[in-house]
Amino acid sequence: MTKHGFTLFLFSSAVAIATFRDEQEFCENESCNEREFDKSHFYSDVKHCGEIPLALSHKLLDALPLDEVDGNVIRTVKRSVFSESQPSPLKEPLTLAAVSQDVLRNILDLNESVIQNEEFVRCVSGGKLFPGSVPLAHRYGGHQFGYWAGQLGDGRAHLLGEYTNRKGERWEVQLKGSGKTPYSRSGDGRAVIRSSVREFLCSEAISLVVSEEPVWRDPFYNGSVIKERGAVVLRLAKSWFRIGSLEILTRTGELDVLRTLLDFVIKEHFKSIGTNDPDKYVVSICVSLLFSCNTRLFYIV
């Protein structure tokens, strides 16, 4: 929260309270179209339409193995690090509920006036791709409740690409709540307002977009399913790789893919580790674990 500043924290808290109240009212209605929530808490309606001056690149495509199967069909993926996957746009009308002015200005080199652009709202909600974007879903594994759960992956997230700003910093841009991917398992690929507000507060987030699209959830895991509103967060990280990115390849015996991924991670993120160091893989994993506790370099779950 500190990176957005105390003012952003207060504003986002107000958004969370207001949207939670609206969600409760929303759940009591028979139809999403039968209600209109108070938008005075949020940004005003967009005023113009035009191209967004934010071009993305994707060195990941050339460096790492890509899933040979196309589409968002849920499946077990082999011998790849990413799968191509197109976001599913939220149903309109859309409301831009929160924006980090700091991220816009100081990371993405965008003027604050961009939030008045209809194309901006479409891009940050998955309705349109930024120039150069090739949406990817990442394959990784992990443990749940103390047991190895096998393939997990980006079940409701899409990596849009990488942006290099005027300071030479490289940031990976990702949508969260943007629809199904090959890793969605039994999920619908969507996120609701309450979880998206949390993501906005705790991530290096750009924006939070709220929709009238109904999403069904059991918030207390007691069998009481309620209707909530869908939302999408656009967020940034220096890398979205995690320990599970390596673990899934080790568990499945894909050691050649593992070496390729580790070589890429060392080259891009741990330049102090020599490429000829016989212990470079051990060192890189230890350093990544250390960095995950102290920086935002790796996203560990």
CA-wise closest residue to 19 among 4, 40, 1: 40
Return per-residue pLDDT of the chain as tens, 301 residues.
Answer: 444 444 444 444 444 444 444 444 444 443 333 334 344 445 555 445 567 789 999 899 999 999 999 889 999 999 999 999 999 999 999 999 999 999 999 999 999 999 999 999 999 999 999 999 999 999 999 999 999 999 999 999 999 999 999 999 999 999 999 999 999 999 999 999 999 999 999 888 999 999 999 999 999 999 999 999 999 999 999 999 999 999 999 999 999 999 999 999 999 988 888 888 888 888 777 766 655 544 444 443 3
Domain of residue 150 covers 5-238
Instruction: Please check whether residues 139 and 274 belong to one and the same domain.
Output: no
Instruction: Please check whether residues 108 and 211 belong to one and the same domain.
Output: yes
CA distances from 290 to 141, 156, 178, 283, 285 (A): 20, 27, 31, 11, 9
Instruction: Please check whether residues 160 and 278 belong to one and the same domain.
Output: no
Instruction: Please check whether residues 220 and 251 belong to one and the same domain.
Output: no
- Whether the CB-CB separation of 275 and 289 falls below 8 Å is answered with no
Look at the chain and report how many structural domains it folds into. Answer: 2
Instruction: Please check whether residues 260 and 232 belong to one and the same domain.
Output: no
Instruction: Please check whether residues 184 and 84 belong to one and the same domain.
Output: yes
Show which of 204, 238, 272 is a domain's final residue: 238
What sign does the dihedral 251-255-258-263 (CA atoms) show?
positive
Instruction: Please check whether residues 156 and 252 belong to one and the same domain.
Output: no
Within the chain, residue ranges assigned H as helices are 5-28, 59-63, 101-106, 118-123, 193-202, 243-251, 255-269, 280-294
Instruction: Please check whether residues 138 and 200 belong to one and the same domain.
Output: yes
Instruction: Please check whether residues 120 and 185 belong to one and the same domain.
Output: yes
